[in-house]
Amino acid sequence: MKPPVELHRLISAALKNKELAAQLRSSPDEVYAAYRVPRCQQALLKGDLSEAMEQLGVHPNLRLKFLALRGLLQLKPASVAPFLDSLEERH
């Protein structure tokens, strides 16, 4: 399978363009076609996106951004406060 150049371009563009990001969430197939993402890659993107990103060789940084753009990134809120507090206690 060829490198996911078109998909990388799409992700980078969607990060800069809120309208494109919204369209990526609402009608991803149209966006994939507009950015000429190959059909074989589009087929993978219809399944588990994390697995598809792995199979396609999408850069890890762009994987996270793509999942976030699609509204699928589930991260728990985190705070560095406990870590900073523990540093203060040591010094």
Find tokens 């951004």 and name the residue: 65
Query: What pLDDT is attached to residue 3?
Result: 73
Quote the CA–CA distance of 85 and 81 in Å, as a whole number.
6
CA distance 7 to 37: 6
Condensed to tens digits (0 to 9), the pLDDT of residues 61-82 reads 899 999 999 988 766 666 667 7
Q: Indicate whether 1 pLDDT > 70.
A: no
Residues making up the chain, counted from first to last: 91
Helix spans in the chain (H)? 5-16, 18-26, 28-34, 39-45, 49-56, 60-69, 81-90
* pLDDT of res. 79: 66
* Model pLDDT for residues 25-74, shown as the tens digit of each residue: 999 999 999 999 999 999 999 999 989 999 999 988 899 999 999 988 76
Q: What is residue 85's predicted lDDT score, i.e. its pLDDT? A: 75
Under the banding of pLDDT at 50, 70 and 90, the label for residue 91 is low
